[in-house]
Structure 1
Amino acid sequence: PPSVQTLDVSNNKLSEVPVELADCPKLKDVNLKGNALKDKRLEKMVNGCQTKSILEYLRKGKGKPEGAEREEPRKKKRERNRRKDGSDGDDEVGEAQKLLLKVLHVSENPAPLVVKASPGVKEVRPYIVCCVVKGMNLSPGNALKRFLSVQTKLHEDVCEKRTAATIATHDLRLVKGPLLYDVRPPDDLKITPLGRKEVKAKDLLRQLQSEAEEQRKQKKRQNISGLHRYLQLLNGKENYPCLVDAEGTVISFPPITNSEKTKLGKTTSDLLLEVTSATSLQTCKDIMDTLILKMAELNKSTLENKDGEPDSDHESNDIASRDNASPGCVSANCLPLVLEQVRVVDMDGNLKVLYPSKTDLCTVSSLVTVIH
């Protein structure tokens, strides 16, 4: 009945959960634990996620509301890519093998980063999720190069060539908060793109278009590479989205480029992650989950000295990391990445999204242990 507020059907013989459950407007608390559900992802969620997330999963995954036809293939593709990478949720990993992530809550953080979202983004690119990650080791060998390759691969796969979402990564030391997620006309938006001089967005797109045409002529084919492939994503937009720091500098212009000002380097250990989308908030969260999982895997691999191209600093860095860990510990499990929650608020300070909340990282729960 629509008036039900609490439902406890734990330890029964349920194999499926009716979609209609998601349509109960007053339902605040549902207990489905102890049932052998056919949907294994849902089975994991009922043990680790709040009711709101479970109902949202039922609504989106099964009920297929408006827009779900487009969202469903994306979810399937993300799941397929996770399985391909050996992270299938059905393959349980022993607790000892799981990657550790520690979440620092806003209330525990003396200076939490805040992102304000202006009303104008609703018309252009409404969804943004941010997170701070501390403790990455990008200095040995080709660790930085490998991390940038991971980002490129995610853009190709789960981000669907940036049509579903765009990832941006920044060196936290170079980010001046609080941040503003805003929109600006092409003539007003100025950015210093990676590897280029400061330019207006309008001129940057014109340059990239010209380069794309030149590329086509030289190679005598239609396929173009690099940033040029994303120009059509801004077609017809009167305003462009951007992330602006406290000094008024644009540090991100999705889906095109980051800024040279906050570029990652080998000495970067603390990062600001940003995922924006015109599709849905859940798309941003799922992609952020996957990005953080990949970072934890990369950090573990680097710490265990599996980096492909050792350099002179590699060995000393690796030894130093092991010295800082507990005796006999040579695994990144001893040095968990720390995730700092980042709030996105509206211009009046009302919360729009907090990541990671307790309901996040469910999509990678079989591979990571989150310490709240």
Structure 2
Amino acid sequence: MAAEEPWPELELAERERRRELLLTGPGLEERVRAAGGRLPPRLFTLPLLHYLEVSGCGSLREPGPGLAQGLPQLHSLVLRRNALGPGLNPELGPLPALRVLDLSGNALEALPPGQGLGPAEPPGLPQLQSLNLSGNRLRELPADLARCAPRLQTLNLTGNCLDCFPAALFQPGALPLLSELAAADNCLRELSPDIAHLASLKTLDLSNNQLSEIPAELADCPKLRELSLRGNQLKDKRLDKMVHGCQTKSVLEYLRVGGRGRGKGRGKAEGAEREESGKKRRERKQRKESSEGAGSEAARPLLLRVLPASASPAPMTVSVSPEVKDVRPYIVGAVVRGMDLQAGDALKRFLTSQTKLHEDMCARRTAATIATHDLGAIKGPLLYGARPPQELKIVPLGRREAKAKDLVRQLQLEAEEQRKQKRRQNVSGLHRYLHLLDGKENYPCLVDADGDVISFPPITNSEKTKIKKTTSDLFLEVTSAASLQICKDVMDALILKMAEINKSTLENKEGDALSDSEGDATAGQPPGPRTHVGAGPDGAAPLLVEQVRVVDLEGGLKVLYPSRTDLEAAAAHVTVVR
């Protein structure tokens, strides 16, 4: 019994039959070290677990026996930023229900066959969809990886020491569902023509490797839309230039017609380059006339960087009180840093996009409600709960402080006046959402550490945290009485829209800067570099999305956003770096 005392999280999870468990923090190091660098055996006696995360533990060298046998319902296993390696022993499989496996940021050097992820026959991970092995020291992949995880959709190998892919990975039918393959920052020297057998591949990142040739067969990948080959040692100088300045479509066309020195094909490629250059000039000219035109079709994607809550110096946490369960039980939060709302009409577009999401995706706030806050005006941690209307006080946007009971009554009187003046039943503004509070004895609210109510969903948020042009760091919340998944879906859509707005703002600035630099060059001065503060390696300005933990009053994890499976829709035009 004494050996179990240092693990109160396990006792709580067992007693409350929890499906999610997060083990992290400074105290974890000592406990894992005392257990011989492994996880405690008692952990593998929680058969109801769907989500397990153990992160940031430099003492954890192997998961320990019993993982596969004791957690048959596990959907997500996150073991990032530990000390796993150099190999994995014992196997992680079979885990018949596992969909997400994150082993990033460890010290793995190899996953040898039959010793890495699980047996290949029958498949040890038959439902695995996402595998993250980034930030390790892998020199090779197991030859039977595809047979071990035949339903793999996303494979992240960024930041390892791989010099080639196993041949079996690209065999016909090996990975029929693989849509994203990231292997940037490795030592890859060649790419097999068999990659064309990845029929579902949409995104391929092979940047910063040692590739000298790109097989023409790559153009035969029927769904490939995003391709990055920058930072390689391509012998074809024309291709090397194109991968830095042209869209994926033009690069694939160049490969399709045969590349350099192929006569007719070269002419087509040059024509594609000219067409691409002309298109960029037209886009620069039209940006100021149509802000929406600078969206997902631009050549360079914007980066979204996800910072785990465990890596944040001051992570935001939302505690949920039990009384909100019968009122509006679901909430998801996120912190977004690096938003530029000062230029042009960026703030107006941001607020308009929020309104549009409320109308469409949120079904006029009946499915979910969004609230956005100036992070600098908030003191955490936050408490999400429910209060009687006569006790809940808030300073609503554009109004004076009022009790919720009085605010609702005032809005009802305004709605009646609107109907009389317009001689119709429809009303506008906040008045449209009053019916969502009908029959509620308590009203939901989000309260900061100062005791101020900063949000009263689904009606309004506080003047205290109002977004301004100078706001660059935001706290986002989505609440719902319907489901947690709708909260996540709406949050995904909101963050991706913010990425598009920031992208458009950056491109407008670059367009102006380009015009200025061209004027300088005309006057005999060389143009300055086209850079942006905080730009990523390809010049894109990243938004930083910090994870927010939603917990119960005892600290038990309820929701972690964004998790590995969130923001998946970003792949088409936003690069998510985790």
* TM-score of the superposed pair, with normalisation by structure 1: 0.73
SS in 1 for 2:325: helix
SS in 2 for 1:304: helix
Residue in structure 2 matching 1:349, options 548, 555, 562: 555
Q: Corresponding residue for 1:77?
A: none
The answer to whether the 8 A contact 1:9-1:32 is kept is no
The answer to whether the 8 A contact 1:91-1:366 is kept is no
Residue in structure 2 matching 1:6, options 95, 101, 111: 95
Residue in structure 2 matching 1:324, options 512, 515, 533: 533
Q: Which runs of 5 or more residues in structure 1 are unaligned? A: 11-16, 18-28, 38-42, 49-89, 308-318
Q: How far does the alpha carbon of each residue in 1:89-145 deviate from its partner, in whole angstroms, 9 at most, with x for none?
A: x89445563331101111211111111000111101110000000000001121111
Q: Going by fraction, where is helix more abundant, 1 or 2?
A: 1
Residue 158 of structure 1 and its aligned partner are, at CA, apart by: 0.6
Distance in 2 (CA, whole Å) between partners of 1:174 and 1:156 is 27
Q: Which runs of 5 or more residues in structure 2 are unaligned? A: 1-71, 74-93, 97-117, 121-126, 128-147, 153-173, 183-222, 229-298, 511-527
Distance change (3 Å), C-alpha of 1:321 and 1:91: same
Distance change (3 Å), C-alpha of 1:249 and 1:255: same
Distance change (3 Å), C-alpha of 1:304 and 1:240: same
Residue in structure 2 matching 1:216, options 390, 406, 419: 419
Q: Corresponding residue for 1:358?
A: 564
Distance change (3 Å), C-alpha of 1:321 and 1:345: farther
Residue in structure 1 matching 2:331, options 111, 114, 128: 128
Q: Which amino acid aligns with 1:198?
A: E
**1:90-105 correspondence runs (5 A):** 92-94=225-227, 97-105=300-308
Distance in 1 (CA, whole Å) between partners of 2:119 and 2:354 is 42
Distance change (3 Å), C-alpha of 1:183 and 1:325: closer
Residue in structure 2 matching 1:139, options 342, 350, 368: 342
The answer to whether the 8 A contact 2:318-2:551 is kept is yes
SS in 2 for 1:343: strand
Distance in 1 (CA, whole Å) between partners of 2:530 and 2:451 is 37
Distance in 1 (CA, whole Å) between partners of 2:415 and 2:448 is 30
Q: Corresponding residue for 2:373?
A: 170
Distance in 2 (CA, whole Å) between partners of 1:244 and 1:203 is 19
More displaced stretch, 248-257 vs 135-144:
135-144
Distance in 2 (CA, whole Å) between partners of 1:125 and 1:91 is 42
Q: Corresponding residue for 2:271?
A: none
Distance in 1 (CA, whole Å) between partners of 2:346 and 2:224 is 27
The answer to whether the 8 A contact 1:254-1:276 is kept is yes
Distance in 1 (CA, whole Å) between partners of 2:451 and 2:332 is 20
Distance in 2 (CA, whole Å) between partners of 1:321 and 1:176 is 37
**1:265-284 correspondence runs (5 A):** 265-284=468-487
Correspondence 1:204 to 2:390 = no
Correspondence 1:338 to 2:544 = yes
**1:77-116 correspondence runs (5 A):** 92-94=225-227, 97-116=300-319
Distance in 1 (CA, whole Å) between partners of 2:311 and 2:393 is 36
Distance in 2 (CA, whole Å) between partners of 1:261 and 1:345 is 24
Distance change (3 Å), C-alpha of 1:306 and 1:345: same
Distance in 1 (CA, whole Å) between partners of 2:394 and 2:568 is 36
Number of residue pairs matched by the alignment: 295
The answer to whether the 8 A contact 2:377-2:465 is kept is yes
Question: % of aligned pairs identical?
Answer: 63
The answer to whether the 8 A contact 1:9-1:31 is kept is no
Q: How far does the alpha carbon of each residue in 1:67-87 deviate from its partner, in whole angstroms, 9 at most, with x for none?
A: xxxxxxxxxxxxxxxxxxxxx
Distance in 1 (CA, whole Å) between partners of 2:483 and 2:443 is 18
Structure number with larger C-alpha Rg: 2
Distance change (3 Å), C-alpha of 1:299 and 1:188: same
SS in 2 for 1:265: coil
Distance in 2 (CA, whole Å) between partners of 1:225 and 1:322 is 44
Correspondence 1:228 to 2:431 = yes
Residue 366 of structure 1 and its aligned partner are, at CA, apart by: 2.6
Distance change (3 Å), C-alpha of 1:123 and 1:321: farther
Provide the alpha-carbon RMSD of the alignment. 3.1
Distance change (3 Å), C-alpha of 1:134 and 1:325: closer
SS in 2 for 1:6: coil
Q: Corresponding residue for 2:241?
A: none
Distance change (3 Å), C-alpha of 1:282 and 1:326: closer
Q: Corresponding residue for 2:151?
A: 32
Correspondence 1:151 to 2:151 = no
Q: Which amino acid aligns with 2:151?
A: L
Q: How far does the alpha carbon of each residue in 1:26-84 deviate from its partner, in whole angstroms, 9 at most, with x for none?
A: xxx964134546xxxxx659x89xxxxxxxxxxxxxxxxxxxxxxxxxxxxxxxxxxxx
Distance in 2 (CA, whole Å) between partners of 1:180 and 1:321 is 44
Q: Which amino acid aligns with 1:258?
A: N
Which is bigger in relative contact order (C-alpha 8 A, separation at least 6)? 1
Distance change (3 Å), C-alpha of 1:327 and 1:297: closer
Q: Which amino acid aligns with 2:95?
A: T
Distance in 2 (CA, whole Å) between partners of 1:325 and 1:179 is 29
The answer to whether the 8 A contact 2:150-2:175 is kept is no
Distance change (3 Å), C-alpha of 1:94 and 1:292: farther
Distance in 2 (CA, whole Å) between partners of 1:146 and 1:261 is 21
Q: Which amino acid aligns with 1:341?
A: Q
Q: Which amino acid aligns with 1:349?
A: G
SS in 1 for 2:303: strand
Correspondence 1:249 to 2:452 = yes
The answer to whether the 8 A contact 2:387-2:442 is kept is yes
Residue 360 of structure 1 and its aligned partner are, at CA, apart by: 1.0
Q: Which amino acid aligns with 1:179?
A: L
Distance in 2 (CA, whole Å) between partners of 1:190 and 1:327 is 43
Distance in 2 (CA, whole Å) between partners of 1:134 and 1:320 is 25
SS in 1 for 2:372: strand
